[in-house]
Amino acid sequence: MHRPLDRTPAAPPRAVMFLSALKAEHFDKVKRSGADICLIDLEDAVPCAHKALARARCLEALQLHGASCRFAVRINELRSREFLSDMQALLDCAMTPHMVLLPMVETAAEIDIVRALFGAQDKFPLLFALIETLNGLHQVDAIAARADGLLFGAADFAALLGTDISWENMLHARQQIGLAAARHGIVAIDTPCFDLAGPELLQRECRGARALGFHGKAAVHPQQVEIIRALFTPSQEEQARARAIVAADALHGGAIATVDGQMIGPPFVKRAKRLLRELGPLEE
Ligand code: GLV
Ligand code: MG
């Protein structure tokens, strides 16, 4: 029987904020937004003609901020020439990012290759796989077995599928990604919400993704961070109920008990403990 390994950190990241490497001078704003992970993008936010400049700015920001926040970098995909330059730059840099996000991942071997390249230099960033192709989704379980986290990229996925990024159209992919991450006990982060006109769609997507097992969501604007963090944090009612379940379990020595008229047993206790653990040391 497969048992989830649960490699999720005690307090999984909720908001992963993207910033183009070309705008690295705004990095302080990203840090101040309260994002759990501040991610510099070398891929789609940087036009081909500016990749070298972007890389230089990313390295500058990494050296300046890498020690004071969870600094992440989205490099270019493994099948591109830019990937080689990105890796060379990160391997030569004295500072190692907290996390490296690999786009367009389609095989588990891609994670192994990148991990081996870093490992040979005694560098051990977390490796998150961006699942955003049909092949990537097809292989998501094998990829989840090798990666430290999954991030869903709805924009590329929808483009390949020939559809739009509505909740209904992306539901199947989200379910697969949430399940694969849970099966391998790793972090799942939902795709960014590109609607900056108001918070409604972002709020709906946060609630829906959390229900599918996602721990957090990518942000593309600092204003999204607070909403994401709030909606991926268990509500006061959920926390109170989890504490009541754990207390009832302890009181009854692990026997079946009732809380607020509902029967609880081991699976409910497990869920309650996990919810409290994921609050992390600060909020607990
Ligand atoms: C992100 O990279 C996306 O394609 O949505
Ligand atoms: Mg993409």
Q: Are 171 and 266 in a shared domain?
A: no
Residue 282 counted as domain residue: no
Domain with 140, as residue range(s), is 15-232
Q: Is the per-residue pLDDT at 279 higher than 90?
A: no
Residue 7 counted as domain residue: no
Alpha-carbon distance of 28 to 148, in angstroms, equals 26
Ligand 1 center–CA 191 separation, angstroms: 7
Q: Ligand 1 in contact with 133 (CB < 6 A)?
A: no
The number of the ligand nearest the C-alpha atom of 189 reads 1
Q: Are 174 and 254 in a shared domain?
A: no
Q: Are 195 and 242 in a shared domain?
A: no
Q: Is the per-residue pLDDT at 128 higher than 90?
A: yes
The pLDDT mean for the chain works out to: 94
Q: What is the pLDDT of residues 79-115, one digit of tens each?
A: 999 999 999 999 999 999 999 999 999 999 999 999 9
Q: Ligand 1 in contact with 136 (CB < 6 A)?
A: no
| End-to-end Cα distance, the chain | 33
Residue 9 counted as domain residue: no
Range name among 4-8, 141-145, 206-210 with the lowest pLDDT average? 4-8
ipTM above 0.95 for this complex: yes
Is 44 flagged in the annotation as binding?
no
Range name among 115-119, 124-128, 209-213, 269-273 with the lowest pLDDT average? 269-273
Q: Are 224 and 246 in a shared domain?
A: no
pLDDT of residue 8: 73
Q: Are 207 and 245 in a shared domain?
A: no
199, 215, 232 — which closes off a domain?
Answer: 232
pLDDT of residue 6: 66
Which of 44, 76, 104, 161 best tests ligand 1's pocket when mutated (most atoms within 8 Å of CB)?
44
Residue 5 counted as domain residue: no
pLDDT average, residue stretch 127-156: 98
Ligand 2 center–CA 279 separation, angstroms: 29
Residue 8 counted as domain residue: no
Predicted TM-score (pTM) of the model is: 0.92
Q: Are 205 and 240 in a shared domain?
A: no
pLDDT average, residue stretch 116-139: 98
* Contact between 176 and 138 (Cβ < 8 Å): no
Range name among 51-55, 237-241, 254-258 with the lowest pLDDT average? 254-258
pLDDT average, residue stretch 135-160: 98
Q: Are 109 and 243 in a shared domain?
A: no
Which of 46, 191, 195, 217 best tests ligand 1's pocket when mutated (most atoms within 8 Å of CB)?
191
pLDDT average, residue stretch 76-80: 98
pLDDT average, residue stretch 233-240: 91
Percent of the chain with pLDDT over 70: 96
Q: Ligand 1 in contact with 191 (CB < 6 A)?
A: yes
pLDDT average, residue stretch 43-68: 97
CATH code: domain of residue 59: 3.20.20.60
Residue 6 counted as domain residue: no
Range name among 30-34, 180-184, 275-279 with the lowest pLDDT average? 275-279
The number of the ligand nearest the C-alpha atom of 159 reads 1
Alpha-carbon distance of 150 to 7, in angstroms, equals 12
Q: What is the pLDDT of residues 251-275, one digit of tens each?
A: 888 888 899 898 888 999 999 998 9
Ligand 2 center–CA 103 separation, angstroms: 7
Residue 90 counted as domain residue: yes
Is 74 flagged in the annotation as binding?
yes
Q: Is the per-residue pLDDT at 27 higher than 50?
A: yes
pLDDT of residue 281: 59
Q: Is the per-residue pLDDT at 3 higher than 70?
A: no
Neighbour count for residue 107 (Cβ, 10 Å)? 16
Q: Are 118 and 245 in a shared domain?
A: no
The closest alpha carbon to 61, from 35, 95, 84, belongs to 95
Q: Are 249 and 223 in a shared domain?
A: no
Q: Count structural domains, the chain.
A: 2
Q: Are 224 and 242 in a shared domain?
A: no
The number of the ligand nearest the C-alpha atom of 151 reads 1
Q: Are 192 and 243 in a shared domain?
A: no
- Bigger pLDDT: 24 vs 8: 24
Which of 132, 133, 169 best tests ligand 1's pocket when mutated (most atoms within 8 Å of CB)?
132
Q: Are 191 and 250 in a shared domain?
A: no
